[in-house]
Amino acid sequence: MPPPPVQLRPDTLLHIYYVEGIIPAHQTIAAEHFLGNWVEDDFSFLFFTRPAVLEVEDILRLYPGTKLLDQYEMTYGQWQGGNITPLRIGRFLLNPPWIKASPGKDEVAITVDAGLVFGNGTHPTTQDCLAAIDIACAGGKVTTMLDLGTGTGVLALAAARLGCNKIVAVDYNYLAAKTARGNVALNNLDDRILVVNGRAEEHTTIATDLLVANIHYEVMKELVRTEGFLRQKWFILSGLLRSEAGKIEDTLKTLPVLILKRWNQNDIWHTILGITTV
């Protein structure tokens, strides 16, 4: 049996090996201090909790053409960009696994273990998506949801806590999907959320009450042109910079949809909430 996942805490020291070339994301290393492999474009990042030069050399030999470019040491808190504490966003309370702040009246508590993935709730687009989900779910009629670019699964978890009982959460990044599955289990929501490792644009054929897409513009611009986009009743589109949001809105103007609300964080990050009218 594989060793249980390491519980990362803010002071956990990470040893990160930056590799030129792709080491398949599902590749495992038989060492209890191996945490995971983050693949980005044509580069790979191998994470360990102890120095692992020999293990990295072994794995590079399996993939000719790969090369170790650099290695780093930093705490888990530094990797995540700062101290990790309970975070209140609207009426959502996001707790790291090692701190369980008590929710106040009407607050919705979620446990989020971001692992090596960025997505602990601090990004402006995550916060605006949570606000939009709260609006969409307020009437109690959103029972199915498609979460594209789920990351750590925060948005799917929030919708499930608000009563959505059938959610498909998709991420193309293997490590993100693995992390989201862990968070679904951590919150005992396996019966409501299915996490899929795949491409966002290939899943819009599923008709749902709510589509949430917090993803790159290059994926978003194709997604809103798919036939399946209009099968969704509500939609939340986020992860967009100002010029990108303008282009998406231009496309939406040609479709039978109604934009209900827009969020603009410092004129940088933009989020759109709307409904289809077909």
What CATH number is attached to the domain comprising 59? Answer: 3.30.70
Q: Are residues 47 and 173 in the same domain?
A: no
Percent of the chain topping pLDDT 90: 82
Say whether pLDDT at 252 is over 50: yes
Average pLDDT of the chain to the nearest whole number: 93
pTM (two decimals): 0.91
Say whether pLDDT at 3 is over 80: no
pLDDT digits (tens, 9 = 90+) for 122-179: 889 999 999 999 999 999 999 999 999 999 999 999 999 999 999 999 999 999 999 9
How many other β-carbons are positioned within 10 Å of the β-carbon of residue 70? 9
- Transcribe 27-56 into DSSP letters: ---S-TTEEEEEEETTEEEEEESS--HHHH
The residue type found at 97 is: P
Cα(148)–Cα(199) distance, rounded to whole angstroms? 8
Q: Are residues 37 and 125 in the same domain?
A: no
pLDDT digits (tens, 9 = 90+) for 35-52: 999 998 899 999 999 999
Q: Are residues 66 and 137 in the same domain?
A: no
Beta carbons of 82 and 75 less than 8 angstroms apart: no
pLDDT digits (tens, 9 = 90+) for 220-245: 999 999 999 999 999 999 999 999 99
Q: Are residues 49 and 153 in the same domain?
A: no
How many other β-carbons are positioned within 10 Å of the β-carbon of residue 71? 16
Cα(115)–Cα(175) distance, rounded to whole angstroms? 9
Number of domains in the chain: 2
As given in the structure block, the two tokens for residue 48 are: 């360990």
End residue of a domain, out of 56, 79, 102: 79
Beta carbons of 32 and 63 less than 8 angstroms apart: no
Q: Are residues 57 and 160 in the same domain?
A: no
Q: Is residue 96, in this structure, part of any structural domain at all?
A: no
Residue 5 has a pLDDT of 57
Containing 179, the helix (H) or strand (E) segment is helix 174-186
Residue-number span of the structural domain to which 268 is assigned: 118-276
Q: Are residues 44 and 127 in the same domain?
A: no
Cα(201)–Cα(228) distance, rounded to whole angstroms? 9
Cα(193)–Cα(160) distance, rounded to whole angstroms? 8
CA nearest neighbour of 56 among 72, 74, 39, 68: 68
As given in the structure block, the two tokens for residue 46 are: 């191998």
Residue 84 has a pLDDT of 84
Which is more confidently placed, 85 or 82? Answer: 85
Q: Is residue 89, in this structure, part of any structural domain at all?
A: no
